[in-house]
């Protein structure tokens, strides 16, 4: 079950410069920064109501975010939905023929379990499904 839009991922060249824009210019608050080594990214979260903006900077020239910016420039990279039971949902989507980038959930920022769907299956939108730890506990 889809619960809400968890966050919108934005690919940026320079996290510090983008934080300056989102915090000091737009007036949002940053709730935390983290490096996710598995994904070669540094991320920062800016909560807006029930959802967040996730700024992503690549830590490696051949990381996904770096490649994305090279092709399409900075901008919205993915939309993340919070879901109730990620394992069940991935199995069901696979049965329906949805192409999955992650067949098994992996570790995401903030300790969430996440999985990406292939944009070819979702009208060109890179969809991230995430499940927060506290739900399972
Ligand atoms: Zn994300």
| Per-residue pLDDT, 38 | 84
Q: How confident is residue 134, by pLDDT bands cut at 50, 70 and 90?
A: low
Do 108 and 87 form a contact (C-beta atoms < 8 A)?
Answer: no
Domain CATH number, residue 18: 3.10.180.10
Tell me: the pLDDT tens digits for 106-119? 988 888 999 999 99
Q: Near ion ligand 1, which residues have CB within 5 Å? A: 9, 54, 80, 128
Contacts of 16-20 with C-beta under 8 Å, sequence gap 24+, read 18/44, 18/55, 18/57, 19/44, 19/55
Lowest-pLDDT choice from 16-20, 65-69, 108-112, 133-137: 133-137
Domain extent, residue 35, equals 2-135
Q: Calculate mean pLDDT across residues 68-83.
A: 97
CA of 112 to the centre of ligand 1 (A): 10
CA distance 32 to 29: 9
CA of 71 to the centre of ligand 1 (A): 19
CA distance 61 to 78: 19
CA of 53 to the centre of ligand 1 (A): 9
Give the chain's domain count: 1
CA of 96 to the centre of ligand 1 (A): 24
CA distance 6 to 14: 23
């Amino acid at each position: 079950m889809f619960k809400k839009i968890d966050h919108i991922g934005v690919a940026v060249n320079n996290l510090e410069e983008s934080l300056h824009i989102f915090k000091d210019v737009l007036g949002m608050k940053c709730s935390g920064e983290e490096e996710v080594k598995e994904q070669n990214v540094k991320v920062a979260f800016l909560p807006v109501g029930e959802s967040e903006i996730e700024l992503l900077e690549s830590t490696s020239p051949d990381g996904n975010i770096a490649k994305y910016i090279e092709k399409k420039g900075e901008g919205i990279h993915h939309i993340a939905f919070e879901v109730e039971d990620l394992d069940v949902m991935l199995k069901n989507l696979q049965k329906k023929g949805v192409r999955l980038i992650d067949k098994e959930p992996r570790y995401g920022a903030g300790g969430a379990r996440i999985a990406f769907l292939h944009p070819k299956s979702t009208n060109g939108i890179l969809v991230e499904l995430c499940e927060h730890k506290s739900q399972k506990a």
